[in-house]
Structure 1
Amino acid sequence: MRRALLVSALLLSGVGAAGVTGPGTARERAADVPVLVPAAATAAVRLLANPGFEAGLSSWTADTASAVAVVTSPVHGGGSAARLTDSSTTAGISLRGAPFAVLPGEEVTATAWIQRVAGTGGSLYLEFWRPDGVRAAATSVAAGSATGWQQLTVRGSAPDEATTATVLAYSTQAESGTTVWDDVSVTALPPPQRKVPNAAFEQKRNNTRPTEWTVVTAGGSVTSAPGRTGQGVRTTDTSGSGEVSVLSRQVPASAGESVTASVWANGPTGVLYLEFRNAAGARLGTPPTANVPAGSGWRQVSVTGTAPSGTAGLTVRLYSTQAATGTTTWDDVTLRSSADTSYDAALTANAAVLFVGDQRVESYSGVTRVMRPGTKGPNDGVVLSGISDWDANPRLSGSVLPIDGGYGMWYHTTQGTGYVTSTDGVTWTRNGRTTPVSYRGNNGVVQNAAWTPGSSLPRFFRMRAHHTNNPNLPASPPSDNPMRHYYMEQSTDGIAWVAVPGSTPIPGWDVANASWDPVTRKYIAMIKPVPADYAPPSVGPGPRHVWVSTSTDFKTWTAPRPAHMADLQDDALIPSGTSRHGMTPWAEFYGMPAIRYGDQFLGVPWVFEIGWSPNRDNGDPGPDAGRSHLGLAASRDLISWSRPNRTPIVTRGGIDSWDYGFNMSGTTMETRQLQNGEWETRLWYSSFAGEHGCGSANVTAGDCGKATGNAKIGLVTWPTDRFESFRGAGSVTTRPLTPAGRTLTVNYDPGSGGSLRVEVLDGDGNPLPGYGIGDATPVTTNALAPGAAVTWGATSTLPAGPVRLRFTQTGGDLYAFAVS
């Protein structure tokens, strides 16, 4: 039964406007498409509806219908092509394909064949779109002067805030003529495994220089500046001899790994450096470099190198050549590596595929994404309140685990870690305790996967942070050095904690979230990093975001890697009125647990909406003031995260409510079967009633609106799998799947009279015989978890994969599917 795997895992652990207004501006156009080194990952075919115009203009949108026609000559392939006739030099003519889903960082390559019939013009665009319909980025290539058919190729990486992409055939505004287009195709490499923090220079902390980059200005200056997309960084060299550069944070890499670094540049000079470094941070050998190519406008620069022996990490340096003067603006750094992985079509039997993220989604049309916030129980969802000074402000991050037929909860108190137990997860008891079980906070408790009843092994592991010398705590033992690290501890009873023998601390500070993945059998740490080469103790640790490290034994951990951070869409969604003293608000991630859930991990980012920061420009985030909310993200590898819907999963109360202010979540979810046979999923969370960094004096000064304090712990629930849906009349098509099972089930709510049919497609998107829309038996009942079985007449089993699934609904909500 599909629930079995899920329960054990959880207990343990319509785009923009049809027209285009001047897409061919210099800031968005590429002179050419660089040839990147082949990576270990292979490109997957992305389905583009009606790519050869054999179905006329179906699935394509023209901004000027009278200027676009389907023709039978000339054609490049098949029997039809699309002709664009541009008779003006002031308004372009465009033809845009249907959108397809993309993941942040996914590298998309689009190709099309074009023939100039008369005049000039003709450009192929690849556009990336935010969920609110705003175009996040665009890249283009113009047709050459050759006669006859020529193939255009354009490549781009999806920005963090992008959820869909489109291909656009365009007749340039400044030119007129007739062009014919045919045989459009799209392929994509999955998001890279190596990420440069703040690679797009959009983070708002240290507003006058690039956050998370080290700046050298011996020969000039470095400033923030308008970039190719959003904000970039500008290097100005005035000396012709002194160095002007920006250096990225170090990210992990391994000896023998082949890496290609790329950046967009707009300026006369500059050099891209790819630097490999050892464990001490020292640069190894002479780094490979690439000069900004001659030309004007934005050009992409790429350099490839192989990590030498002794490599532990790499950095990217954007360098103004010492022998020359000039100003160059840089933007959108990317890394491709031989460590990158290909899209994995394998689908484990019984593993729920949620529509929280787009890892399994090829495209969708006619439907909208809808987040379903959790339901609060009695007492406005509150399950635990403080009772005294030692237990004031009880809050998670922390964990709820099943223990001996009941539950145990480890949580933060004013003075350390509290521990309570419960028989039902709602009513909790302190068992007579009047002190914390530990005078230090915890960052997630997991059960030792090797422990069995009666075993002499420790039953529990936890992470705790040491980042400051708190005079209210016992003196730090020598093992606590250096500061700003996470340390590993173990316990036989969850109450008395000691260091894990032989364990290695992880660099980081403040909040972390530890969890256990029963599928890969790894412990997961989602942390706030402070690399040794970035911030000494006297300097603030910079913006809050999430890195990931894993372990098989809770002793030895992998080098932390960048995983997930807030982006421009998070900034745009901050409620009005958040700004204080005229400061433009911005978002950061205060923390985020990663929880195994079926085919994916669910991340719960704590989105911090910063309205006032007295130390914004010196990197110290401590006194930042603002509220936070809980989002929901999905990933299959803990590195690439997708959040197509940013609606909070917990609806915060009004200003007088307990959860108005600063929301945080636990590190675990629980799925259980109710007495009526239905399944329910629970998440414990907490909140301060007021804002982070906000005292009464701050309220008086106008820094914030409500003083922090009065924290409580609450509980929200969902019908299992029903977090986010595709709603309305339309269709959703998956990427290729190779299921281990043969029986398809769907979690679907028809609403008022809706129905759902499922087609089974081949790799090219064509229905397989016997599995078409006419063969599919409609699902018309409220198919709660574990879902309703899908049939095609008398057929109840899927054909052998790989296959694609197309869900077509007349209404209602499609939440998830699984194959058992």
Structure 2
Amino acid sequence: MVHKEWWRTVTGRRVRTGFLAGLMGVVALTVPTAAAGQTPADAGVPQDGNLVANAGFDVGDPAGHPIGWSVEGDEAAVNVVNLSAYRTAGPGSLEVNVTAGRPVTVTSDRMVAAPDRAYTLKARVKGRSGTPAGLAMAFTDFNRTELGVKAADIAFSADWQTITVSGTAPANTAQVTVRITGADAGWSYFDEVSLTGAPAAYDPHLGTERELFLDDYRIESSSDVGRVVHAADKRPEPIIRATYPWESNSYIYGSVFKIGNLYRMWYDCNNDVSPGYFLCYAESRDGVKWTKPLGRGNVGYKDIPASRTNLIIAGGGTIAYNPTAPADRRFSLLQFQTGVVNQTLGYYAYFSPDGYTWTKASSAPVLLDGDVSQVAWDARSQRYIATIKKRMFTSRTPGVYDRAAFVSTSTDFLTWSTPILGVAGDYADDGAAQALNGLEGQIYGMPVLPYESTYIGIPWVLLITNFTHGTQSSAGDGPVLPQVASSRDLVDWSRPVRDPVIQPGQPGAWDDGALYTASNVLVDDKKITMYYGAFNAGHGGQVAGSVPYTSGVGMATWRRDGFVSLTNASQPGIGDPGTVTTKPLVTSGENLHVNAVVRAKGSLTVDVLDAAGNPIPGYTSVPLKGDQLDAQVRWKGGQTLAALAGQQIKLRFSLINTDLYSYRIG
């Protein structure tokens, strides 16, 4: 399968997906809120951390089997039932009625798991007769090899009992599943299954970096607020189009940096010369109007010499820029090349002093598999970050690989850590695909952006609708939508909201098809800028005989910190004001700054609490109004936070008709 998709790549159709352009333009508008994973307004921001979908067995398929679970063995032994004596919460529970000699196993969907992380599995179990089914969690690696199983033998009880299984994920773990297995004759019921990972260690100390609300790491409690994705503002026309003979399509997986006063872009193009896709170069003085200078690289096209092309390197790839690296390694490139699986097929490293002339630095892949990668230099941790596409045979479609984003790091761009599964398609992604009458969701790629106090991922979510539509349909047809994820450690990733951060264009627009992004963003005091590649069809490509298959590079912007906000839409006397309270914080700065939009009749106030949650006298803020990118909070008592330095405090934000994006102490 790897060879097959790569072959499509080199024939000039690298990122094809084939939803009809008209339908593609409304895809993002038709995904229901529930499928998008929106935080319920009254549930509070922090979630229970349960990884299991349909954990209460409250919904089943037409055969009576639980949705989100598979059944192997005696299928008649398993049913979702609504029996008041045999459920603990919700309308349903799982009935497992095993006949002697006819075993059955019920297995959850696969969930992302981190190596060396402790996990706890719990379930409510009640016996009816005989031997109850067993409960276990199983850890598997990238190849679905079982690495370890933690199980509990359950003694019969006619009363509900809570069964707990604990274990640590072995090295190389990628996924974990829950198993309910009936081997001996017996009749039992299961409800309220939960699987949670041990929380990341919490550090209360705040630096000067901004704290965003992409995860629950610093949130203790909340009421009447919800996370809202703010889609980018886009320029209506592409800023890069295919204009030269060697550009049958122009788009971007690549990188854009502002070096000095010059914006420099490495974008992708397809043509009919092997390997079929290349990196091209463009530059700009303002980031909006771009030129394609010729002769910077050493790659020609047919009878056109390199001096008359803007081709930089054959085979594409993504670039990291490290201004502190040795002069001959300021630019680093990771490029996929085909070969023998697990030997020569994978990602190779290149170095360049200027971004034009490249030297291959590795004779063997520095990372295996392929074909999409993103790279970044993280100045904060002094390491490179790579996210690579790996294909696991874990998809819902038999024999079809499941694309997922794995994360690896390196200090020298040559020796990389063992890739860890970061983001994979899950129950919510599958639901979004099914809302389009489709099949399942997968992750086509994911840039990682070192940003303030966190890492922001931009997973490209491929919602597979079918395998029959478009010229490249066998690779899966459907929209590709950039979304948002975050991580504090590059291991655990949070995806509480699933709306696109860049929306496809309306039907007929140049970008009404599949969307991809650059590997990085550009950030200034007021905005975030990301360049994106878009097509006028989805991942299956155009239907034969339809309009030409075209692409371009677009420009998307957000306000600073503006991917996601915590939002309250009440007005004075109408609706319910919102509150957000942080976990304990230890600060050393003087002033609290916030990034927020306080809309008409709204307000934003902040109270400083002690570690026990009691208000500290003098630390109630003057209400904030208007659109504030970096407003300094003023306290009614006239104090600064310097008097509280070194103490544990909490911040309680009170929102009325407000979007709250971030805060910082400085």
The residue type equivalent to 1:779 in the other structure is: L
Distance 1:707 1:363, change over 3 A: farther
- Offset of residue 712 of structure 1: 0.7
- Offset of residue 571 of structure 1: 5.3
Partner of 1:40: none
Q: Deviations over 1:224-255 (max 9, x none)?
A: 9769999999999777388968696996635x
Partner of 1:437: 312
Q: Deviations over 1:131-174 (max 9, x none)?
A: 9997x9xxxxxxxxxxxxxxxxxxxxxx987668859xxxxxxx
Give the whole-Å Cα distance in 2 for the aligned partners of 1:516 and 1:263.
Answer: 43
Trace 1:63-462 onto structure 2 (pairs within 5 A): 220=74, 240=101, 253=115, 260=120, 269-272=132-135, 289-295=151-157, 301-305=163-167, 312-313=172-173, 318=179, 320=181, 322=183, 334=195, 336=197, 341-349=200-208, 351-367=209-225, 369-377=227-235, 380-388=236-244, 390-414=246-270, 415-432=277-294, 434=309, 436-442=311-317, 444-448=318-322, 450-452=324-326, 455=327, 457-462=328-333
Partner of 2:563: 723
Give the whole-Å Cα distance in 2 for the aligned partners of 1:365 and 1:212.
Answer: 30
The residue type equivalent to 1:817 in the other structure is: Y
CA contact (8 A) 1:420 1:429 kept: yes
Give the whole-Å Cα distance in 1 for the aligned partners of 2:362 and 2:503.
Answer: 42
Q: Deviations over 1:642-667 (max 9, x none)?
A: 44444432233221101111111112
CA contact (8 A) 1:381 1:716 kept: no
1:555 correspondence with 2:424: no
The residue type equivalent to 1:529 in the other structure is: K
Give the whole-Å Cα distance in 1 for the aligned partners of 2:414 and 2:54.
Answer: 30
Q: What SS does the aligned partner of 2:618 have?
A: coil
Q: Deviations over 1:197-219 (max 9, x none)?
A: 999999x9xx9999999x996x6
Give the whole-Å Cα distance in 2 for the aligned partners of 1:593 and 1:216.
Answer: 36
Relative contact order, higher structure (CA 8 A, sep 6+): 2
CA contact (8 A) 2:581 2:652 kept: yes
What is the TM-score of this pair, normalised by structure 1?
Answer: 0.60
CA contact (8 A) 1:691 1:708 kept: no
Partner of 1:793: 637
Give the whole-Å Cα distance in 1 for the aligned partners of 2:78 and 2:359.
Answer: 47
Give the whole-Å Cα distance in 1 for the aligned partners of 2:54 and 2:651.
Answer: 36
The residue type equivalent to 2:373 in the other structure is: A
Q: What SS does the aligned partner of 1:656 have?
A: coil
Q: Deviations over 1:584-612 (max 9, x none)?
A: 45433322222122122222222333322
Distance 1:646 1:305, change over 3 A: closer
Q: Deviations over 1:511-530 (max 9, x none)?
A: 23222222222322233333
CA contact (8 A) 1:734 1:804 kept: yes
- Offset of residue 281 of structure 1: 8.9
1:607 to 442, 451, 461: 461
Distance 1:647 1:513, change over 3 A: same
CA contact (8 A) 2:477 2:541 kept: yes
1:778 to 617, 620, 623: 623
1:686 to 499, 508, 533: 533
Partner of 1:464: 335
CA contact (8 A) 2:113 2:169 kept: no
Give the whole-Å Cα distance in 2 for the aligned partners of 1:413 and 1:224.
Answer: 52
CA contact (8 A) 2:39 2:227 kept: no
Structure 2 gap segments, 5+ residues each: 1-30, 82-88, 271-276, 295-307, 571-576
Distance 1:746 1:486, change over 3 A: same
Distance 1:805 1:387, change over 3 A: same
- Offset of residue 324 of structure 1: 5.1
1:808 correspondence with 2:666: no
Partner of 1:141: none
What is the TM-score of this pair, normalised by structure 2?
Answer: 0.73
The residue type equivalent to 1:755 in the other structure is: S
CA contact (8 A) 1:190 1:342 kept: no
CA contact (8 A) 2:140 2:173 kept: yes
CA contact (8 A) 2:134 2:151 kept: yes
Give the whole-Å Cα distance in 2 for the aligned partners of 1:277 and 1:368.
Answer: 34
Structure 1 vs Structure 2: percent identity of aligned residues? 28
Q: What SS does the aligned partner of 2:239 have?
A: strand
Distance 1:708 1:591, change over 3 A: farther
The residue type equivalent to 1:462 in the other structure is: L
Q: What SS does the aligned partner of 2:641 have?
A: coil
Distance 1:690 1:556, change over 3 A: same
Structure 1 or 2, whichever has the larger Rg, is 1
- Offset of residue 323 of structure 1: 5.4
CA contact (8 A) 1:220 1:239 kept: no
Give the whole-Å Cα distance in 2 for the aligned partners of 1:815 and 1:567.
Answer: 27
Give the whole-Å Cα distance in 2 for the aligned partners of 1:389 and 1:232.
Answer: 62
Partner of 2:549: 709
Give the whole-Å Cα distance in 2 for the aligned partners of 1:361 and 1:426.
Answer: 38
Q: Deviations over 1:278-331 (max 9, x none)?
A: 9999878x96532245357997644345789xx554866737365558898899
Give the whole-Å Cα distance in 1 for the aligned partners of 2:111 and 2:638.
Answer: 58
1:742 to 573, 579, 590: 590
Partner of 1:657: 509
